[in-house]
Amino acid sequence: MWGGGRLGKFLAHSGVASRRAAEQLIVAGRVTINGRLVTDPAHAVGRLDQVYVDGRRVQPEARVVMALYKPTGVVSTAQDDRGRPAVVELVPPELGRLYPIGRLDADSEGLLLLSNDGPLTLALLHPRGQVPRTYRLLVHPVPQASTLIRLRAGVRIAGGLARPSSVKLEQPLVGDRAWLRLVLHEGRHREARRICAANGLAVERLIRVAFGSVGLGSLRPGEYRILDVAEVRRLWGSVRHRVEDVQ
């Protein structure tokens, strides 16, 4: 439920348009509040105010947070210029417009959160939030003890030091391959794969099994579930710095 705030934010939260496009609508004189024309995007909108755009009533969307198992071959965007299937195509239309919170590469799979909650998305993705992401990676060859030590020490990649907060070798081994479990906190582009490559490990499969307090659970590729209020509250608790601290 809308708790009050600026008009531009209200329109964006309601799914009318992006924040910038919503502000352009307001300045263009296409928005009224309680029958009065408003051209200031910063104008306050209360819970009981009636907002219209081009004569049509606008009401805020209910906030939704979804946990989805992204299959391989699916991109974590709204659309793809190469014609690959997009993750939003797995979202039922009746849930409204949901957007991926971060990304998983097309050749990676596992937990992807989607939501229409802008502040939550910002808090989860901001580097200062330090929200843990847990990955299982099937790698070749089996990492030696010295390799695990180097993985824990971190490696230099573009953007600085990439250092997992946890590195575990799962047992039993899979022949000349092994499952590694890494916990990262920033979500840089292909970070887990780049850390492994820097240590001579080829990644055959990558599955994200947790994002903050939310786990993949029993979801199978293409399946999803909607987080309840308690789960969303715990997800907020995964953020080291709240949204007001990182804006």
Catalytic residues: 105
Burial of residue 103 (number of CB atoms within 10 Å: 0-12, 13-18, 19+)? middle
- Cα Rg, the chain, nearest whole Å: 21
| Residues paired with 215 in a beta bridge | 210
Report whether 91 contacts 114 (CB < 8 A). yes
